[in-house]
């Protein structure tokens, strides 16, 4: 495969300058959204304080309810990008009610693609790690530990990391963006695949339509928005800042138009949010080191001067990431860690919950897999995220996967779990009887069917072999027999 990114890179840089110049008349002082690891300690602490304040004031509950009820209107359809752009802008404005200097950071998950659980983002002084499997997967570490959220029913904020999951590296993402000639190419490809992969990796609340209960949702969607923003910059003459096309399956397969109303925002049309530096919005994204490292590596292949060894490839990447190339030792990685694996697809329940067409999802994964396989065939190729992993394993923090920290001041030892009873009575398919409590996983995955109960998903096997273990269903439900 020839990765033709030399011209692309030039267009990207020239277009960035052009867009800033065009937007200047409307948006003279744009907010700058940084990668969360590029924040100073003071900036990060102020950001976390504001996030907590938004939670304390109940504003987060309102946003989560809005995201939950919007459901099929804004997922699996072309308006997915524009609607979430406005949605996280609203969240950023709430943060700025607490601290007017704050901007929403993004989480560049391409850096963490090779082994996500080791990401610094999951350290206790950033977003915290996975939930505690012995406490309903409730988050018990990091700044948001012991949170209780209310949508759709009161429960602890939950995470349940999928420890075997990998993400896309910056190289795969760049190729996806470059090969997407139209908005209608990029939007479903991102939503169907990498957007879903991140949600499913974190699990818990993030794996449901109540995902906005988790502050990491907004870092993730800022990155998703940046993916779209960067693609817009790659176009010529700012045309992509006006481009919006595709088919809306929820409206009898009509062709969408920029003049379409933005769902749930009666006073806005899609065109109002296509340009982040237009009349309504006013922000831009700081450059990503991971993206620059992929461009630098691709440039060598494009000029017919590929790295002569993996050590040379590592040196190219490390210098862009700001690491001493001599300090990067790939030998500390397992063979599995050194090679990114293709993803097989989303669970059917996720596709149904998020209004995704199964055939379109399968096609999106096929495209991404093809790109990954072609990159892996290049001589002496190494993904930038693998170099990042080698650095993190050698020098980075060891993050708790399900660690427990003391409750913040003001929360007793029982925390949010004091009203929880770890009991669920299973009376056999196709009915579940739930005593007071919020725990039940129904195992035996054959002939499984996924149903919604209280807005939170559970799995019921229809052919017996059922045992009660753990998964959040609902809190405080007494003697209820939902029909499955």
Q: Tell me how far apart the alpha carbons of residues 158 and 151 are, in angstroms, rounded to a whole number.
A: 12
User: Based on the domain organization, do 335 and 469 belong to the same domain?
Assistant: no
Domain boundary among 395, 430, 458: 395
Three-state secondary structure call for residue 183: helix
275-312 confidence digits (pLDDT tens): 999 999 999 999 989 999 999 999 999 999 999 999 99
Residue 175 lies in a domain: yes
Kindly state whether residue 362 falls inside one of the protein's structural domains: yes
The two tokens of residue 459 are: 């799995």
Q: Are residues 183 and 253 in the same domain?
A: yes
Q: Is residue 130 part of a domain?
A: yes
Residue 267 above 80 pLDDT?
yes
Residues 153 and 275 in one domain: yes
Read off the pLDDT band of 107 (50, 70, 90): very high
341 and 460 both lie in a single domain: no
Given a cut of 50, is residue 472 above it in pLDDT?
no
Residue 359 shares a structural domain with residue 425: no
CA 193, 195, 200: angle at the middle one, nearest 5? 90
pLDDT single digits (tens) 412-457: 333 333 333 232 322 333 333 332 233 333 222 222 333 333 333 3
Of 173, 418, 391, nearest to 294 (Cα)?
173
Q: Let me know whether 105 and 48 are in one domain.
A: yes
Choose the final residue of a domain: 361, 395, 429: 395
In this structure, the answer to whether residues 69 and 211 fall within a common structural domain is yes
Question: 183 versus 335: which is more confidently predicted?
Answer: 183
Q: What is the spatial distance between Cα 164 and Cα 160, in angstroms, rounded to a whole number?
A: 12
Q: Phi-psi category of 123—alpha, beta or left, where left has phi over 0 and alpha has psi -120 to 50?
A: beta
Q: Tell me if 406 is assigned to some domain.
A: no
Q: How confident is the model at residue 72 (pLDDT cuts 50, 70, 90)?
A: confident
Q: For the whole prediction, is pTM greater than 0.95?
A: no
Residue where a domain stops, chosen among 360, 395, 430: 395
The answer to whether residues 384 and 481 belong to one domain is: no
- In this prediction, residue 59 has a pLDDT band, given cuts at 50, 70 and 90, of very high
Would you give the DSSP letter of residue 256? P
* CB neighbours of residue 334 within 10 Å: 8
Clarify whether residues 302 and 162 are in a common domain. yes
**Over the stretch 204-218, which tens digit does the pLDDT of each residue have?**
999 999 999 999 999
> How many Cα neighbours within 13 Å face the side chain of 440?
27
Query: Helices H, strands E: what count in the chain?
Result: 14, 10
Instruction: Give yes or no for a contact between 212 and 60, defined as CB atoms under 8 angstroms apart.
Output: yes
Q: Verify that 212 and 282 share a domain, yes or no.
A: yes
Within-domain flag for 405: no
Specify the CATH number for the domain of residue 150. 1.10.1280.10
Q: Please provide the average confidence, as pLDDT, over all residues in the chain.
A: 81
For the four alpha carbons of 60, 62, 67 and 71, in that order, the dihedral sign comes to positive
Residue 1 resides in a domain: no
Q: Is the pLDDT confidence value at 150 over 50? A: yes
Q: Which helix (H) or strand (E) holds 223?
A: helix 216-234
Strands (E), 190-324: 247-248, 254-255, 261-262, 265-269, 283-285
Q: Are 375 and 428 part of one and the same domain? A: no
Q: Which domain does 143 fall in, by range?
A: 6-395
Higher-confidence position of 18 and 443: 18
Whether residue 415 lies inside any domain: the answer is: no
Whether the Cβ atoms of residue 403 and residue 129 lie closer than 8 Å to each other: yes
Same domain, 143 and 38: yes
pLDDT (tens digit, 9 = 90+) per residue, 376-409? Answer: 899 999 999 999 999 998 887 655 445 677 776 5
Q: Is residue 401 part of a domain?
A: no
Question: What pLDDT shows up at residue 236?
Answer: 85
Q: How many domains does the chain have?
A: 2
């Amino acid at each position: 495969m020839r990765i033709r990114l030399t011209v692309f890179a030039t267009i990207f840089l020239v277009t960035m300058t052009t867009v800033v110049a065009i937007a200047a008349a409307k948006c003279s002082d744009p907010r700058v959204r940084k990668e969360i690891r590029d924040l100073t300690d003071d900036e990060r602490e102020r950001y976390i304080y504001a996030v907590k304040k938004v939670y304390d004031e109940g504003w987060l509950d309102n946003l989560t309810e809005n995201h939950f009820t919007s459901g099929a209107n804004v997922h699996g359809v072309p308006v997915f990008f524009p609607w979430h752009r406005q949605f996280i802008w609203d969240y950023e404005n709430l943060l700025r009610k607490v601290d007017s200097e704050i901007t929403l950071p993004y989480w560049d998950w391409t850096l963490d693609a090779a082994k996500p659980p080791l990401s610094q983002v999951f350290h206790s002084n950033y977003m915290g790690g996975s939930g505690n499997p012995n406490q309903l997967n409730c988050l018990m570490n990091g700044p948001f530990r012991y949170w209780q959220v209310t949508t759709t029913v009161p429960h602890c904020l939950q995470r349940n990391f999928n420890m075997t999951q990998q993400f896309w590296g910056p190289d795969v993402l760049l190729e996806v963006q470059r090969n997407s000639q139209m908005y209608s190419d990029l939007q479903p490809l991102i939503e169907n695949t990498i957007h879903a992969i991140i949600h499913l990796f974190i699990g818990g609340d993030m794996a449901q339509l109540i995902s906005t209960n988790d502050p990491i949702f907004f870092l993730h969607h800022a990155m998703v928005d940046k993916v779209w923003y960067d693609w817009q910059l790659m176009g010529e003459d700012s045309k992509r800042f006006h481009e919006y096309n595709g088919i809306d399956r929820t409206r009898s397969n009509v062709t969408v138009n920029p003049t379409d109303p933005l769902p749930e925002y009666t006073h806005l049309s899609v065109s109002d949010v296509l340009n982040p530096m237009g009349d309504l919005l006013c922000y831009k994204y700081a450059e990503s080191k991971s993206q620059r490292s992929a461009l630098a590596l691709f440039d060598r292949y494009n000029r017919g001067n590929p790295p002569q060894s993996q050590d040379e490839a590592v040196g190219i990447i490390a210098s862009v990431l700001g690491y001493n190339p001599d300090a990067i030792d790939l030998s500390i990685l397992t063979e599995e860690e050194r090679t990114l694996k293709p993803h097989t697809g989303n669970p059917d329940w996720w596709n149904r919950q998020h209004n995704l067409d199964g055939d379109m999802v399968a096609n999106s994964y096929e495209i991404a897999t093809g790109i990954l396989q072609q990159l892996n065939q290049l001589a002496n190729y190494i993904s930038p995220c693998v170099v990042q992993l080698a650095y993190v394993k050698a020098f980075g923090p060891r993050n708790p996967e399900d660690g427990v920290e003391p409750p913040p001041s003001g929360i007793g030892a029982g925390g949010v779990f004091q009203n929880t009873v770890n009991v669920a009575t299973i009376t056999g398919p196709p009915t579940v009887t739930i005593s007071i409590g919020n725990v039940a996983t129904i195992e035996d995955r054959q002939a499984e069917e996924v149903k919604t109960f209280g807005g939170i998903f559970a799995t019921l096997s229809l052919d017996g072999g059922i045992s009660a273990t753990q998964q959040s269903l609902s809190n405080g439900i007494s003697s209820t027999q939902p029909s499955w």
